[in-house]
Structure 1
Amino acid sequence: MSTLNIMGGLDLRQDVRPATTGLPGPRPALDDSLSSGLLPSTVLLVDPDSTTREAMRKTLLVTGIGRVREASCLEDIRALVSGEAPDDLALVSLTLGSSVRSIITTLRQSGWNRVIALSPTSDIGPVIDAVGAGVHGVLIGRRANPAAANVPAAIHDLSARELEVVQLVAEGRSNKWIGEQLSLSALTVKSHLARIGRKLETGDRAHIVALALRAGVIS
């Protein structure tokens, strides 16, 4: 049976057993195309942060993936599916926030049979949304960013909503503007920032943004 190895590509080697009731005979030798290990495959990485994509791309190539393509937003995905055949696997970061569901739905409707969500936190809300949109699995773990140093570990525990707020703060938006975009009141946005500040032990908006950028949880 074919098996999917998330970090190593698609292993299409078959477990061939002779049709007898006795002990299994010797396994047939693999042909030349399989003898060197995993078959080359193509993976699509969907993540808004270029540093994270680069770290993941290098890891995937080292582990045997033949080709890695990258996308950073829903517009990239729409352009890609309009002229390209589906890849073997799509890895979609939940840090994309509200566009995640549309990205997953677009990929599935375009023929992607294997879509995995990557969550940087254990926040259950975005995971449930991703599963509802049709992902086949979720990997939870911190984002790989070699530039992250002296950053509080709590930065990786921010919820998807909190990350959205920090991203918009990084873009110079006011609490009122952020609230209008996220269908929240300005007071709720202020409460989000206060909670983020407590987690990161800082009340300074600029410092919060700097920590998030260094950790790679926003771009």
Structure 2
Amino acid sequence: MATTKTRRFDRTVVRVLAIVTQPLTMYGLHALVDRTRGLTWCGATPNMETALSALSDHLPHVVLVDSRLDRDAGGIRALRDARPDVRVIGLVRGDYAPGYIRAIRAGEVNGLVSQSASTDIMVSAIRASLGEQPFVDPQLALWLPAAPDAVPTQRNRLTHRQLEVLTRLAAGRRNAEIADELGVTTETIRKHVKRIMNRLETQDRAHAVARGYQLGLVGFPGAEIPPTT
């Protein structure tokens, strides 16, 4: 009697599937995933109608979805119903996506990324989606502002010096530049960055900045970078 074989895949490598309609976007994502260690491209499909079969055929860990193909986020709910363990990242093409805002608040989407985001942000979002905290691209952070009365509580996660470092990271400063501005060594800044990532439960610098915007740690009154002399 014939036996049914269970399909297996290497869980040490994150498999990425894209649901996108524009070939240029698909090729760009494919190239990015292929050249990033720990990620592998497992396919793409151009619409939500074929998404469920693609999910079954390719067995991804993470699915990238063009939000314009699924404006009310109903399609991603179907994906999560079929595969509760799959992680979903919404790719937003510059316009407001209320369906995805509701979905990320409800825990149905694991990340939101602008399609104009840097490659570092996209890779950070994919990696962060495997954790517990949602990832929000800093470009989209104003869509999910922290409640005003929550900001003081969130600020207690970091020391004053760590907030100074995080604010400078958000401004694109390198460790050496931050060290020079704050009058400390580069190694001290490296330690601060590591502690910031640990306290915010983030994977890397870009994720820490995104989380900082989401929690209201970056951009709150008094967080502006003082002019250097």
TM-score per shorter chain, which class?
0.3 to 0.5
TM-score under structure 2 normalisation? 0.40
Q: TM-score, normalised by structure 1?
A: 0.41
- Structure with greater Cα Rg: 1
